[in-house]
Every structure is written in C-alpha cells, then in structure tokens.
Structure 1
Amino acid sequence: MRAVLLIAGLALLAVAGWLWGLGGAAEVARWAAEGQSEVQTALAGVLRDLRAGDTAALSGLLGLCFAYGFLHAAGPGHGKLLIGGYGVGRKVPLLRLSLLALGGSLAQAATAVGLVYAGVLAFELTRQRMVGLAEQVMAPASYGAIALIGLWLAARGARRLLAARRGPAAAPGACQGCGHRHGPTADEVARVHGARDAVALVGAVALRPCTGALFLLIVTWRMGLEGAGIAGAFVMGLGTASVTVAVAVAAVTLREGLVARLAARAPGATALPVIEIGAGAVVALLAAQLLAAAL
C-alpha cells in the first residue's frame, strides 16, 4: 500500500510540475474558458425551450449546469488552492476533507442564491451591481480570508515545530495525583480545531459566489423560471465539487505517500510541522496574489 501511495504521490508531483513549471496551467485555463463559453451558449437555447413549456429541457439544463461547474472549477480558482493546501498541510481523513470540499461548493451556490434574491427582492439591485458586488467586494474578501487561513496554517506549524524541538510535554486531561480533569484531552482539542477549521474553510470558499451561477439565477428570475435557476445553481456547485473533491483525494494521497515517507526519514518530529508551514505559506502567497489582482 505504501508503494502505491508513493507512486501516486510521484505522479501528482509530475502533474504539478507540468501545471506550474511547464505552462500547463495556462493551457487548462484556456480550455476551461472556451468550454464555459460553449456551455453558456447552449444554456441560452435550453432556457428558451424550457420557457416554451418543454419539460424535457430541464434535464438538459441541469446537465449543462454540471458541466459549467466542472469547467469553472477546472480553471484557476481559490477553492482548489484552499482544499489542496489544507490537505497537504494537515493530516485530515479523506472523507472529512472530501465533505469539506463538497460543503464549500454547495455553500458557494447558496451564497449566489442568497445574493441574487436578496438583491432582487430586498434591495432592487441590477445585474451589473450584483456582479460588481461579487467581483469587487466578495471576491477580495474571500481571497483575504484564504490568505489568513494560510497564515494560520503556517503559524500552527511553527508552534508544532517549536514544541517538537522542546520535547514531549505532559498530556492534558486527568491529573495523575487526584484523578480529576484539569483540562481537555488531546482528542477533545482536535475535535474543536476540526470544527473551527471546517467553518473557516467552507466560509472562505462560500464568500465568493460563481459568476456563472449569478447570471443563471438572474436570467431564470427574469424568465419566471426561478425553481429551475436555483436547482441549476446547486447542480453547478456539484460540478465544482467534482473537481475540488478530486483535489482533496490528490492532497491526501500526496501527504500519505511522499510526505509521510519524508517524515519517517526526518530526524525527530520536525518534518510534518515544516511541511505545514510550507503549505500554509504557499496558500497565503497565492491567495495574496489573487487579492492583489482583484483590487
């Protein structure tokens, strides 16, 4: 099993080298943008059929929405950055990280629905103002939150590194002398951090709704197809999740393969904290670049 994980980790490193070292990311982004444009054109025709009373067009709409979400996530995006960096930096069970990836994508869809219908019904915002709010306010806020999470990961790794160099400390919990509890156990602390991390991760991704979902919701509202638009927005979220869950699988595979092997060979318990510092620093740096480009 370790050999399989090692081979998978090496393959992932090769893919990462192609993406960021040989210009592969630009090729993927171009392919994703072209695909999104084609899907948007097809969506317009399906919506006209649905408005004309063709109920069979609903399945076509949902299929196109899933494809759009997949293509949207395949291009440059903050969700993959956050899930991947967190999965490499922290030891997280695959199922939990996958559920966080799914939750972030669906929360993004919920944010789009909330923004559009609050803007339409409560504040009477135009399409341009809603898209401007998403791009000019919510996107920078999301990138800033992700940068803070990256710094948080790096700081936590630094604390673990210092603790590892100082040597093992007494475990909290029940006192050996009196038998009473004077603090939480290690498992209890881990559960609290897990819940906090989950809220932070999902919230940081959800802050920035998908522009495609905004357009779909606005168009379907104008056409009187509100239910189809809301369903389509969440199916777009599932399409996005198909990519972010794959990134979660890749991150856990990389950590359990190459990273665990390096940790086993490193002196003491310093390798994993150093990796966490590095992953957090990469997340913070890339998110800061996205933030600077959005401002």
Structure 2
Amino acid sequence: MRWPALILAVLGAAALWLWALGGADQIMWYAVDAQRDVQNAMAAALRGLRAGQPGALATLWGLCFAYGFVHAAGPGHGKLVIGGYGAGTRVPARRLAGLALGASLAQALTAVLLVYAAVFVFGWGRQQMTGVADDVLAPLSYALIGLVGLWLLIRGVRHLRPAHDHDHHGDSDVCSSCGHAHGPTLEQAQTVRSWRDALVVIGTIAVRPCTGALFLLILTWRLDIDWAGIIGALIMGLGTASITVLVAFAAVGFRESALQLVNNSAVARTLAWAEILAGGIVLILASQLVLRSI
C-alpha cells in the first residue's frame, strides 16, 4: 500500500469515529462540562481574591491554566490549523511549536482587546461580547481555516506538477540526470517557509477569542482587578498551548516518519501529496465547523 493510501485510511477511520459515530460530540460535551466546572471555580477564586484571602491569586491563575488545557483538549480550530500545517509543510518541529505558542498567546490578546474595546468604546456587556465571539468571530475563523486548507491543497498541486517521474541518480541533493533538486536540503528544511505562512497560521487561530478568557476578563474588570484578569488570560493561553504544542510535535513526527518510508527520489512528490491530503482534510473539517456554527 502506497503511503498516501495509508494516510487516507488512517485519517478516514479517525474522521469516521469523530464525525459519523459521534466521537467529536462526546469529546466536546466532556470538554464543555469540564470548562463549566473550572469557570465556577474561577468565580469562587475571584471572590476570594477580592476578599483578600491568601493563596487566592495562585489558585485563580492555576485554574486559568487548567481551563486553557481543558479548552484545547476538546475539538478545536487551533489544533486543526497547527496539525494540518505541520503535516503538509516541512517546517521544523521547534518552529511549529513556536507558532502554536504564539497563536495561543495571540488568541488571549484578542480576548483582552475585544473586552476593553467593547467596554470603553461600545459599552457592551458579557452577553454581547460572547455573542460576537460565538456568532461572528467563530464562523469567520472557521472560514479562514477552510481557506488555509484550500491554500495548502493548491500549493501541493503546484508542487506536484514539476515533480519528476524518473529516478534520482547519485547521492547529492541535485539529480545528475536533470540537474534539479528532488526535495529540500537539510538547510532548506530548517528555514521558515515565510513570514506570511506564520502570520496566516497565527491569525486564523487568534481571530476567535476564547470565551473563558472573556468570562475572566469581564469579571476582573467589574471587580477592579484588571491586571489579574489580563495575566490570567495569558496563562490561559499557555494552558491551551500545552496541547497545541503537543499537536505540533505529533504532526511533524508523523510527517517525518512517512518520509522515512520513501527514497530520495520520491521526497518532493511525497511532500506534495502530504500538502494535498492535509489541505483537503482541513478544508473538509473547517467546512463542517462553519456549518455547525451558523
């Protein structure tokens, strides 16, 4: 079995469990229940902080990290973007992990900007903010993720076209038969694809703020302890990043393991297929998320 077929079989089985057999819903409801419990605990910690109870601040920030972790453990668009980009693009693991961390922190900053812009500019309350986050920003972020999937798919098709059918002759990075490289050199693989790629990955995740961060920031603003909420939102982002960074390393490990199964002459074609497959999967899943959110 050729590796693209194997990849399709594995991902198809995962998609079948997640979307046809209700796996995604089971994970989502578990995550929702856990997030609700953590939110209640955060509210209690905030009351303790306001009352000057010792240890209340450490408890609050610990709960913020736990909320971010639980939030990221459920089905989410951040893991979809990081996993799809990492599987389809030969970016180094540490760099992809950095993108995952940056995206999670940027998402927290989006929550801070939304809350304080809404409070001081528009005079909104919690219901209006969460409504904008869920009814406007969520579908927008899913649509942008779909565009990322389409972008990966089109780029994979473009990379597939110039791939050569003949064998690579020699051990060097350049084929002695045609004079072209059949795959990226080690130095090229260690280079960031582009700043545009990084901004796209971070932007599609950051555009939708976490509702838990909105909840925290609104409460701390009302209690006049804004600094605790802003720091807590960033800590929440670190909790989210603890999952997305793992997804980044898993995606890179999966990609490089697949590349070990092919010879040098097939690396370029294999990477092109990886982009096509990853892009197609991201596009399909993002389309489903859009339909669920509208």
| Corresponding position: 1:101 with 2:100 | yes
Amino acid at match of 1:93: P
Deviation at 1:22, TM superposition (A): 6.5
> Does the alignment pair 1:117 with 2:90?
no
Q: Which residue of 1 aligns with 2:260?
A: 261
State how 1:23-42 maps to structure 2 within 5 Å. 24-42=23-41
Is contact 1:263-1:269 (8 Å) kept?
Answer: no
Q: What's the Cα RMSD here?
A: 2.9
Partner of 1:220: 220
Q: CA deviation at 1:161?
A: 0.3
Query: Which string of whole-angstrom CA distances, capped at 9 and with x for unpartnered residues, describes residues 183-241 of structure 1?
Result: xxxx89x9674211100000110001001100110111111111111111111100000
Alpha-carbon shift at residue 152 of structure 1 (Å): 0.6
Deviation at 1:261, TM superposition (A): 3.0
> Which residue does 2:184 correspond to in 1?
none
Distance 1:22 1:138, change over 3 A: closer
Contact 1:140 1:291 in 2 (8 A): yes
Q: After superposition, where does 1:200-211 map in structure 2 within 5 Å?
A: 200-211=200-211
Aligned match of 1:63 = 62
Residues 76-225 of structure 1 aligned to structure 2 (within 5 Å) = 76-165=75-164, 193-225=193-225
Q: Which runs of 5+ in 1 are unaligned?
A: 1-8, 172-186
Q: Which residue of 2 aligns with 1:250?
A: 250
Q: 93-102 vs 47-56, which deviates more?
A: 47-56
Q: Offset of 1:145 from its aligned partner?
A: 1.1
What TM-score, normalized to structure 2? 0.83
Rounded to whole Å, the distance in 2 between the matches of 1:273 and 1:125 is 47
Residue in structure 1 matched with residue 169 of structure 2 by the alignment: none
Cα distance in 2 between the residues matched to 1:139 and 1:263: 39
Are 2:87 and 2:278, in contact at CA under 8 Å, matched by a contact in 1? yes
Q: CA deviation at 1:268?
A: 7.3
Instruction: Give the aligned residue type for 2:30.
Output: W
Q: Secondary structure at the match of 2:283?
A: helix
User: Distance between the aligned counterparts of 1:240 and 1:197, measured in 2?
Assistant: 21
> How far apart are 1:36 and its partner, in Å?
1.1
> What amino acid maps onto 2:213 in structure 1?
A
Letter in 1 for 2:282: V
Assess if the C-alpha contact under 8 Å between 1:263 and 1:272 holds in 2.
no
Letter in 2 for 1:243: I
Aligned-pair CA distance for 1:16: 4.8
Cα contact 2:91–2:192 (8 A) shared by 1: no
Secondary structure of the equivalent of 1:216? helix
Q: Report the alpha carbon displacement of residue 253 of structure 1 after superposing the two structures with TM.
A: 0.9
Deviation of the 1:153 alpha carbon: 0.6
Once the two structures are superposed, what CA deviation does each residue of 1:60-119 show, in whole Å capped at 9, x if it has no partner?
A: 000000000000000110000010011111111010000000000000000000000011
- Secondary structure in 1 matching 2:124: coil
* Amino acid aligned to 2:109: A
Shift of residue 125, structure 1, vs aligned partner = 1.3
Asked if 1 retains the 8 angstrom alpha-carbon contact of 2:91 and 2:193, the reply is no
Instruction: Give the letter for the 2:240 counterpart.
Output: T
Query: Structure 1 residues 269, 201: CA separation in 2 closer, same or farther (over 3 Å shift)?
Result: closer
Tell me the equivalent position of 2:172.
none
The question of 1:73 aligning with 2:72 is answered yes
Does structure 2 retain, via aligned residues, the 8 Å contact 1:262–1:271? no
Q: Deviations over 1:128-174 (max 9, x none)?
A: 11111111211111111111111111111101100114888877xxx
Could you say what secondary structure the match of 2:39 adopts?
Answer: helix
- How far apart in 1 are the matches of 2:139 and 2:15? 28
Q: Distance between the aligned counterparts of 2:290 and 2:262, measured in 1?
A: 33
Question: What count of residue pairs does the alignment treat as equivalent?
Answer: 271
The answer for the alignment partner of 2:170 in structure 1 is none
In structure 2, runs of 5+ residues without a counterpart are: 1-6, 167-174, 181-186
Amino acid at match of 1:204: T
C-alpha distance in structure 2 between counterparts of 1:81 and 1:70, whole Å: 16
Query: Which residue of structure 1 aligns with residue 284 of structure 2?
Result: 285
